[in-house]
Structure 1
């Protein structure tokens, strides 16, 4: 048995879809289980013991039709028995079509039903703590007679990575007797990034209440934006921010986050990764992102989130997700930190009380 799972694009999607492999391995212990992903997302699924091979989709294949067709023909040579297309977009439609697999599974879309042998309709409402992002992915296993209701993504760090990151933090004067907070200061784009002045106020709250050490999650080409948020913080807060303590790559970020008491900030890949590392999270959703889909495993204690819709539902009257996305930067202005200050205060108190 040879099975290919396709999940391109974003880090959070790739991490979330990796849950399928645990159950595929249990059902087919001797099967070849491969994962087709974008090359930049590999670090979040590296070392997963249930995945045999990673097939990396590059920018060339993404932007060139001839390259995509060549890539698809190469996939066909493996002679997969089953293809599970979680991504379900044009490029993965083509790859699946050319795969030659007898069983082809994806989500129902009226214009792709002829490509797949099983077209699974998405569920629109969750009836347990799992998010729709988890539930709908698990639905894709049903044609293989695998019935699962919930699952938790997991990131696999090596003992060496964890030890090395601890020594790195010690050398940077991190005090492990005091709280350590990782802040997701920037989203994946402007329309998923909490306004800089508001984020600074959130960080001020964290610093004042916990007297903790604050790390920023950013990559080198985002340093200017991260610095702008740092400058907006109060002078006392700035003394608690270790601005130059950050991971130079994704695996280093993961290993550093493993030592933090919580990750707080913009909902997105960093939040999902922290959850997969079993680190507490407080996420601030963009106004246009559906909380029911991406509010993974939230219990208002270990994992907490806030969304403008929770406080001002009238803003959403007669507006589609497309409308909200288009106006996200303007709508963000109504999402004042004061709205969720009490909720953040409680989360921080619960976090530091276990320190």
Structure 2
């Protein structure tokens, strides 16, 4: 693809089929592409489980739902579009296949073993801890886009925002603090006891109402945490992802494990306080001041383990420390959305 052709790019395909956090952190890419080429048409290939999150986004012209049970070739063949640029932010066998089937003259991907077989241009990923959205923008450098990403954003409608206006209205007008005590990876879970004690502290000292949020298969786990509390908290109703985003939009703060909910909250402008252990907090914490991450000072921090027998990083981080951070954030950012 020549420089002249690159400057006239009309059809751009962006691929990030999983996970929810990675997909949300790809959102600023579309704003950058539209700033570079205001008249371009952008398409986003994303897991069907998360596709609804990107509805109403003025910078994404087409959301293509990816079904992992169907061949990648079939997905793009049906559209019969001629893409000028394909950008693969994942780099696994499925996303690489999608990149090839796009048949774009310019195919971008991160530098990995064998990447030259799939991409016409590659860029190195970060060599150290770096906010993931920043890392994604490295892949835009061959397009002449050198800016840093803007904050992530999910565009929920005014009607969706109204869904939870009356939720918990009999709680005396207390501000909501969402709590997400779950994670797909056991090593990322702060203890149930710590979460329960934290929720009690927030009620007693700060007069807020904790709302425990959950997803499919997590209700019993969340209820077991709530069962350890001395005070009364709210259990969120069953929600789809966009409904959960609307609920988080009505909260003053989210306290969470390192999971997908943290990115959902940040994308609707809700301050986040995240408990981290096996991950680098720099990689997943937005740079805006209203987003923080806390972790223990132990040698094995950021070990990247999915499971851990000792869980020392989670056990040593006490509820008082997290409560102190939460109190400071409530004082500084509550009501500023």
Give the alignment's TM-score, normalised by structure 2. 0.88
State the match for 1:304 in structure 2.
292
Quote the Cα distance in structure 1 between the aligned partners of 2:19 and 2:73: 22
Distance 1:307 1:37, change over 3 A: same
Quote the Cα distance in structure 2 between the aligned partners of 1:353 and 1:5: 35
Equivalent in 32, 35, 60 of residue 69 of structure 2: 60
Equivalent in 180, 188, 191 of residue 192 of structure 1: 188
Whether 1:233 and 2:229 are equivalent positions in the alignment is yes
State the match for 2:40 in structure 1.
31
Asked whether the 8 Å contact 2:180–2:255 carries over to 1, the reply is: yes
Alignment of 1:55-204 (within 5 A): 55-61=64-70, 67-71=71-75, 73-74=77-78, 77-125=80-128, 131-167=130-166, 169=167, 173-175=170-172, 177-204=173-200
Asked whether the 8 Å contact 1:216–1:246 carries over to 2, the reply is: no
Equivalent in 300, 316, 333 of residue 315 of structure 1: 300
Equivalent in 42, 58, 65 of residue 49 of structure 1: 58
Distance 1:329 1:193, change over 3 A: farther
Asked whether the 8 Å contact 1:210–1:352 carries over to 2, the reply is: no
Quote the Cα distance in structure 2 between the aligned partners of 1:353 and 1:42: 30
State the match for 1:223 in structure 2.
219
Asked whether the 8 Å contact 2:185–2:306 carries over to 1, the reply is: no
Quote the Cα distance in structure 2 between the aligned partners of 1:328 and 1:7: 32
The count of corresponding residues between Structure 1 and Structure 2 is: 327
Asked whether the 8 Å contact 2:193–2:228 carries over to 1, the reply is: yes
Which consecutive residues of structure 1, in runs of 5 or more, have no partner in the other structure? 62-66
Distance 1:194 1:330, change over 3 A: same
Quote the Cα distance in structure 2 between the aligned partners of 1:334 and 1:298: 27
Quote the Cα distance in structure 1 between the aligned partners of 2:328 and 2:163: 33
Asked whether the 8 Å contact 2:188–2:306 carries over to 1, the reply is: no
**Higher share in helix:** 1
Quote the Cα distance in structure 2 between the aligned partners of 1:203 and 1:33: 43
Asked whether the 8 Å contact 2:198–2:320 carries over to 1, the reply is: no
Quote the Cα distance in structure 2 between the aligned partners of 1:258 and 1:347: 16
Asked whether the 8 Å contact 1:72–1:94 carries over to 2, the reply is: no
1:339 shift after superposition: 4.9
State the match for 2:234 in structure 1.
242
State the match for 1:64 in structure 2.
none
User: 213-222 or 90-99: which moved more?
Assistant: 213-222
State the match for 2:210 in structure 1.
214
For the residue of structure 2 that corresponds to 1:149, the secondary structure is coil
Give the alignment's TM-score, normalised by structure 1. 0.84
Alignment of 1:337-352 (within 5 A): 337-351=319-333
For the residue of structure 2 that corresponds to 1:160, the secondary structure is helix
Quote the Cα distance in structure 2 between the aligned partners of 1:256 and 1:354: 17
Asked whether the 8 Å contact 2:186–2:307 carries over to 1, the reply is: no
Asked whether the 8 Å contact 1:35–1:51 carries over to 2, the reply is: yes
Distance 1:220 1:122, change over 3 A: closer
Quote the Cα distance in structure 2 between the aligned partners of 1:191 and 1:315: 12
User: 21-30 or 330-339: which moved more?
Assistant: 330-339
